[in-house]
Structure 1
Amino acid sequence: MRQLIVRRLLQTIPMLFFVSIACFAMIKFAPGDPVLSFVTPNMHAEDIERIRHNLGLDKPAYIQYFLWIKEALSGNLGYSLVNHQPVLDQILDRLPATAGLMGASIGLAVLLAIPLGLLAGANRNRWIDKLINLFSYVGISIPLFWLAILLIYFFSIKLSWLPSMGMRTIGVESALDVLKHGIMPCIVLAFGFLAIYVRYIRSSTIGQLKEDYVQIQYAFGSSKRVVLFRHVMKHVLLPVITLLGMSMGELVAGAIVTETVFSWPGIGSLGMTAVRGMDYPVIMGITLFSSVMLIFGNLAADILYGIADPRIQTKR
């Protein structure tokens, strides 16, 4: 296991290097000029060039990249052009809100998908399988922002059961208040992943039920429920781990949409605000930080896969 972890960590180094180049190139080719954020109507051309020089934007692109990556490796992602606050501090301030939302959503999706997928696979082509399949197709098809608006309309406007925006009620400091604010964002973000996971678990369950060990368990007198939840589920969890790593990109993208609709104070809403304000250092910092999250999310999935099935370690 130690060799697997070391090998995977070494493989992330060139990947992070290319990600940093992509992040930097994306900002360099983006329309607009960061210097314009500092320009006033009465400013002379010499003053504008002085600002450009102080920001290091008058240097060749490759020098700008190496200066930026040098600062980034030391933990300095620059300063926001809008509020002049350190980019890394803003990201770290928003990280707990995003991590909590993503963790709760993916946990909810997995906890619901395992029994639903097993149930659908064990009752193939029956009414309950068709009902769960219908739910999965709906979950895959519905856009997140539309589902979010629908939930806000019913549960916030019509029924007044849940708050429609933010993470806390002003003046209220309680875990229950945070929980109430997080219910709808968590449901929206988990909904699409739940549908995908159910489909994969159903397919894996159907395949496992044809294996010899299932027939042996039935021959020993095990009930269908015992076979399903004690034996089949162990083998079904392996593709779920793979799916967790593969879905990290969609999870980050979904968090951006969800946080924007619900005004959730996370990294996603910070990124959308930066895009609207053309705050290039914040955009670049969030893009790099999100890429690092994706890479290490896939690394964690690989490690969990090796723990769940020790045979994988010998093959790799």
Structure 2
Amino acid sequence: MRRLIVRRLLQTIPMLFFVSLVCFALVKAAPGDPVLSFVTPNMHQADIERIRHNLGLDKPAYVQYGIWLKESLTGNMGYSLVNHAPVLNQILDRLPATAGLMGSALILAVLLAIPLGLLAGSNRRKWIDKLVNMLAYFGISIPLFWLGMLFIYFFSIKMHWLPSMGMHTIGKEGALDVIKHGIMPCSVLAISFLSAYVRYIRSGTISQLKEDYVQIQYAFGSNKRTILFRHVTKHVLLPVITLLGMSMGELVTGAIVTETVFSWPGIGTLGMTAVKGMDYPVILGITLFSSVMLILGNLLADILYGFADPRIKTTR
């Protein structure tokens, strides 16, 4: 396992370099000029060129990339062109809100997907399987922004049960208030994750129930419930571990659409604001930070494979 971790960590170096190069090239190719954020109507051309020089934008693109990459490796991702604050500090300030929301949604989705997927797969083509499939297809197909607006309409406007936006009520800073604000966005995200996880677990359950070890367990007198939750579950969790590893990037970037709909002050909202304001350092910082988390998530998934299925061994 130690060899696997070291090898995967070494593989992340060229991967991160490629990701940073592509992101920087895309930002440079985007329309607009970041210098315009500092230009006033009465400003002379000489002053504009001085601003461009101070920002380092008068240098060739490859020189700008080298400077940005070197500073990023030391933790300095630059300063926002909009609010003139360090990019890394902004990301770290928004990270708890996004990680809490996305982490809660993922945990809720997994806890519901495992029994629902096992139940549907073990009752293939019966009414319970058809019902779970219908709900899963509904969750996959429905747009998140529309589902979020439905939640706001029914639970905030009509029922007056939950707050519709933000993370805190003005004048209240307690944990219960945060939980009330997070119920709707967390539920919307959990529905989207749950729908995909249920389909994977159902498919894995159907294939595992055809294996010989299941028939052997029946021959030894084990009941269906024991076989499902003690033996089949360990095998159907492998694709879920993969999905969880790929979701690590989303723990940073968050669901941009969902955070925008509910005005949740996370990294996704920060990214949308940066895109609208052509705040290129923030866009690059968020992209690079999320890429690192995604790679670490895949590494974590590989490690969890060994615990979920002891047959998976690391060879030389």
Same fold by TM (over 0.5)? yes
Identify the residue that residue 82 of structure 1 maps to in structure 2.
82
Identify the residue that residue 11 of structure 2 maps to in structure 1.
11
Identify the residue that residue 152 of structure 1 maps to in structure 2.
152
Distance 1:303 1:174, change over 3 A: same
Aligned runs of 1:1-316 on 2, under 5 Å? Answer: 1-248=1-248, 255-314=255-314
Contact 1:4 1:313 in 2 (8 A): no
Contact 2:136 2:198 in 1 (8 A): yes
Q: Distance in 1 between matches of 2:253 and 2:85?
A: 25
Q: Distance in 1 between matches of 2:187 and 2:8?
A: 33
Contact 2:253 2:290 in 1 (8 A): no
1:289 CA displacement: 1.3
Q: Distance in 2 between matches of 1:277 and 1:236?
A: 45
SS in 1 for 2:255: helix
1:175 CA displacement: 1.2
Query: Which amino acid in structure 2 is aligned with residue 47 of structure 1?
Result: D
Q: Distance in 2 between matches of 1:78 and 1:253?
A: 18
Q: Distance in 1 between matches of 2:227 and 2:41?
A: 75
1:312 CA displacement: 2.5
Q: Distance in 2 between matches of 1:178 and 1:20?
A: 35
**Alpha-carbon deviations, 1:20-62, whole Å to 9, x = none?**
1111111101111111111111111111111111111111100
1:309 CA displacement: 2.4
The unaligned stretches of length 5 or more in structure 2 are none
Query: Which amino acid in structure 2 is aligned with residue 120 of structure 1?
Result: A
Give the structure-1-normalised TM-score. Answer: 0.96
Contact 2:79 2:87 in 1 (8 A): yes
SS in 1 for 2:314: helix
Contact 1:144 1:254 in 2 (8 A): no
Q: Distance in 2 between matches of 1:296 and 1:30?
A: 29
Identify which range, 60-69 or 247-256, moves more after superposition. Answer: 247-256
Query: Which amino acid in structure 2 is aligned with residue 17 of structure 1?
Result: F
1:297 CA displacement: 1.5
Identify which range, 288-297 or 200-209, moves more after superposition. Answer: 288-297
SS in 2 for 1:190: helix
1:212 CA displacement: 1.4
SS in 2 for 1:313: coil
1:249 CA displacement: 5.7
Q: Distance in 1 between matches of 2:237 and 2:222?
A: 21
Q: Distance in 1 between matches of 2:208 and 2:240?
A: 14
Query: Which amino acid in structure 2 is aligned with residue 41 of structure 1?
Result: P
Contact 1:246 1:298 in 2 (8 A): yes
The unaligned stretches of length 5 or more in structure 1 are none
1:250 CA displacement: 6.5
Q: Distance in 2 between matches of 1:259 and 1:197?
A: 22
1:310 CA displacement: 3.6
**Alpha-carbon deviations, 1:110-130, whole Å to 9, x = none?**
110000000001100000000
SS in 2 for 1:312: coil
Identify which range, 114-123 or 233-242, moves more after superposition. Answer: 233-242
1:251 CA displacement: 6.7
**Alpha-carbon deviations, 1:171-203, whole Å to 9, x = none?**
112111111111111111111111111011011
**Alpha-carbon deviations, 1:297-316, whole Å to 9, x = none?**
12211221133224323357
Contact 2:162 2:180 in 1 (8 A): yes
**Alpha-carbon deviations, 1:95-123, whole Å to 9, x = none?**
01111111111111111000000000110
1:253 CA displacement: 6.6
SS in 2 for 1:243: helix
Runs of 4+ with deviation above 4 angstroms: 247-254
**Alpha-carbon deviations, 1:119-149, whole Å to 9, x = none?**
0011000000000000011011001111000
SS in 1 for 2:172: coil
Query: Which amino acid in structure 1 is aligned with residue 213 of structure 2?
Result: Y
Contact 2:234 2:309 in 1 (8 A): no
1:66 CA displacement: 0.4
1:254 CA displacement: 6.0
Q: Distance in 2 between matches of 1:293 and 1:254?
A: 12
